[in-house]
Amino acid sequence: MGTSTEARASSRGQIMLKGAGISGLNPKARLLYSSLFPQFIAPAVDWPVAAQTGLLGALHKAACALVYPAVGMLARRVLQTRPSAARAITRVSGAMMIAIGGFLLVERLAG
């Protein structure tokens, strides 16, 4: 019993580390910081721009650290109890990704 508990804890830690790595390397996050944050930065304030950016980034990371695990745990609980819902969500989200990809391709070719 101790071995399975240790393996499970290790795999959970590995999963969390992998998720943090993927999230940290996500280019959409850098786009968020470079496109949305400047409108919340006030250069005329006594705080340096770097400190304001750091604070906004830290607040965003803290909010994500609270919300994402909660959504993940809730989704896991719901989808484990309803396997047909899990299949439907997988199919719908896959179809949506294909549609978005097709839309972006058409936009790229047209522009």
For residue 75, the model assigns a pLDDT of 84
Cα 103 to Cα 90, 95, 96, 109, 111: the distances in Å are 20, 12, 10, 10, 12
Instruction: For the chain of 111 residues, list the mean pLDDT of each consecutive stretch of 10.
Output: 53 80 74 75 88 86 87 86 87 94 91 73
For residue 101, the model assigns a pLDDT of 92
For residue 9, the model assigns a pLDDT of 53
For residue 99, the model assigns a pLDDT of 96
- Residue ranges per domain, the chain? 2-82
For residue 12, the model assigns a pLDDT of 77
